[in-house]
Amino acid sequence: MKRIAIIGSGLIGRAWAMVFARAGWTASLFDPVEGVAMGALPLIASELAALSHLGLVDDPATSTARVHATTSLEQALEGADLVQESGPEDVDAKIDIFSRLDRIAPRETILASSTSAIVASRFTEKLPGRERCLVAHPVNPPHLVPVVELCGAPWTSPETIAKARGFYESVGQVPITVRREVDGFILNRLQGALLAEAFRLVSEGYVSPQDLDHTIKNGLGLRWSFMGPFETIELNAPGGIPDYCARYTGFYKRLQASPATPDAFGEAAVAEIIKQWGQPATPERVSTRMQWRNERLSALAAHKKSQPQT
């Protein structure tokens, strides 16, 4: 049986445990804050039970039994095929954690970080085992959103990337390879471009935030849940992508001549968005909406699982 060690048992660490345990791996959780790894177990058990009602986990009790809380890094790393570091988003913390992981983990173990925005070359450069380190950036929550961005440092070996790809595929995730380090990887660069334009359009008064959301959730986003932008444009002109580009890139060139600037996220723009959004930014509201989002995502994941993939 394959083993994963999850270092940091917060939101993302717990979700990774579910991904691997439901696919038959043993998952060992570690967290330096006392009680956190142990406290994750009942949360994982209840989430797996909920997922099983939608057919997203076959046997929640058996999956839950594969997840263990440990009390030391050494114990968590024992026999691990893959480490999924999911600690704080702070470069000094990552440097410290990775130096300990590289010292303790068996030589053949792959060391992956869940970091959202710190490239691996910033926290693995000095490690003797740096060729086995990479970023494996998930989307929250990874047990419902399968894409994972794999991005090595310049010294990460191609074998490490290939083996990691195989691991994530084998547990039902959809890995993509980022071929060289870039700030924001791929997903957040795309999200950032869209958000910058959304902030600009709302703060400059072209549309309300609610109507802008409609253009995604009742427009572009409907296709995006099963097609990417290249697959989309291929079907938006009878002659496919060459025809689409011949017809429409003049228009896009014109738009790109005045792109959103950092001012899109400036103080005035943010204040305007908050005012127009009009909802209280309370933890209660956010938590209720998160629960709602996870239920919708679960139903969508179940639907996608029931459909042919291409």
Ligand X SMILES: NC(=O)c1ccc[n+]([C@@H]2O[C@H](COP(=O)([O-])OP(=O)(O)OC[C@H]3O[C@@H](n4cnc5c(N)ncnc54)[C@H](O)[C@@H]3O)[C@@H](O)[C@H]2O)c1
Instruction: Give the per-residue contact string, 31-70, with ligand X (x = CB under 6 A; - = no).
Output: xxx--x----------------------------------
- Judged by CB under 6 A, the residue of 24, 43, 91, 116 near ligand X is 116
- Judged by CB under 6 A, the residue of 38, 49, 54, 93 near ligand X is 93
Sequence-distant (≥ 6) Cβ neighbours of residue 50 within 8 angstroms: 298
Stretch that binds ligand X, among 114-122, 153-161, 209-217, 302-310 (CB under 6 A): 114-122
Is 84 a binding residue for ligand X by CB under 6 A? The answer is no
Least gap, CB of 122 to ligand X (angstroms): 12
Least gap, CB of 38 to ligand X (angstroms): 12
Least gap, CB of 152 to ligand X (angstroms): 17
Using CA atoms, how far apart are residues 20 and 60, in angstroms rounded to an integer?
Answer: 12
Stretch that binds ligand X, among 52-60, 108-116, 180-188, 242-250 (CB under 6 A): 108-116
When the beta carbons of 89 and 243 are compared against ligand X, the nearer one is 89
For 251, counting Cβ atoms within 10 Å of its Cβ (0-12 exposed, 13-18 middle, 19+ buried), the class is: exposed
- The three-point CA angle 26-29-33 to 5° equals 175
Least gap, CB of 258 to ligand X (angstroms): 31
Is 8 a binding residue for ligand X by CB under 6 A? The answer is yes
Is 294 a binding residue for ligand X by CB under 6 A? The answer is no
Is 147 a binding residue for ligand X by CB under 6 A? The answer is no
8 Å CB contact between 29 and 37: yes
Within 10 angstroms of residue 190's Cβ, the number of other Cβ atoms is 13
Q: Is the dihedral of CA 101, 103, 106, 108 positive or negative?
A: positive
- Judged by CB under 6 A, the residue of 42, 55, 79, 88 near ligand X is 88
Nearest residue relative to ligand X (C-beta):
10
When the beta carbons of 89 and 234 are compared against ligand X, the nearer one is 89
**Residues in contact with ligand X by the rule CB under 6 A:** 7-13, 31-33, 36, 86-89, 93, 97, 114-116, 137-138, 140
